[in-house]
Chain A
Amino acid sequence: AQRVTQPEKLLSVFKGAPVELKCNYSYSGSPELFWYVQYSRQRLQLLLRHISRESIKGFTADLNKGETSFHLKKPFAQEEDSAMYYCALDGGGNNRLAFGKGNQVVVIP
C-alpha cells in the first residue's frame, strides 16, 4: 500500500524566513515522489519531482530512502509562496498518485 504523511496542517512563516514542509511515505518498492502546489483559485500543479533534482521557484526536495522522507525546503520564503502544498507518491510509475493531506503555507509580509 502507498501512504503519504504530512504532519503539519498549517505553517506560518515570515517573509525571508526558511520554509520546510515535511513529508514521509510508506511504500515497499522504489517510488517516485512529487510535490504539488495549489495557489489560491488555481488548479493543482506539479512543483517538482525527486527524479529531476531541480530547484523550482527556489524550492528543493531531497529523497531520503533510509528515513522514507521527501521534505520540501526553501531558504527564503516569499509572499507568493503562500499556497497549499501536497506531497505525492507514484508507486507503480503509472500516474496513480497517492497524496498527503497537504500543508497550508502562509507567508507573513
Chain B
Amino acid sequence: DAGVTQSPTHLIKTRGQQVTLRCSPKSGHDTVSWYQQALGQGPQFIFQYYEEEERQRGNFPDRFSGHQFPNYSSELNVNALLLGDSALYLCASSLGSRGYTEAFFGQGTRLTVV
C-alpha cells in the first residue's frame, strides 16, 4: 500500500491562473480532507469529501473547490490564483464513519504562485 499519494509534488503558476491538485487516498479509505499549510504555519483545513460530496468546509473562499471520484480519489481546484495561495497543500485520507479514525497524510504539493 503506497499510502496517500499526491500529484504533482511541485508546481509554479502565475497569478490569475487556475490549478488542479490530485490525491489518491490510502487503500480502504473513503474520505479525503484537504489542508493548506503556509510557510511557518500549521495545516489549515480547507474542506472534506465523503461519498463524492463536500461534507465540511473551512474558512476558504469559493475560489477553492474540489471533487471526489467514485474510486475515492479527489481533486482540489483553485481559481484566480493569488500570491497568497503559495503554500504546501496536504491531502489526508480516513474512514468516513462518524467518530474519529486516524487520518493519513500525503507528502503534499508545493504550489508557488508568481
Which A residues are within 8 Å of any B CB, using their own CB? 4, 6, 32, 43-46, 49, 51, 86, 88, 90, 93-102
Q: Is the CB of B90 within 8 A of A44?
A: yes
A4 and B45 CA atoms in complex are apart in Å by 13
Which B residues are within 8 Å of any A CB, using their own CB? 3-4, 31, 33, 35, 40-45, 48, 55-56, 58, 90, 92, 94, 98-108
Selected from A4, A43, A49, A90, the residue in CB contact (under 8 A) with B106 is A43
Q: Is the CB of B48 within 8 A of A45?
A: no
A32 and B58 CA atoms in complex are apart in Å by 18
Q: Is the CB of B100 within 8 A of A93?
A: yes
A-B contact pairs, 19 of them (CB 8 A): A4-B42, A6-B42, A43-B3, A43-B4, A43-B105, A43-B107, A44-B105, A45-B105, A86-B42, A94-B99, A95-B33, A95-B92, A97-B35, A97-B45, A99-B43, A99-B44, A100-B42, A101-B41, A102-B42
The 5 closest A-B pairs by CB, nearest first: A99-B42, A44-B105, A95-B94, A99-B43, A101-B42
A49 and B4 CA atoms in complex are apart in Å by 21
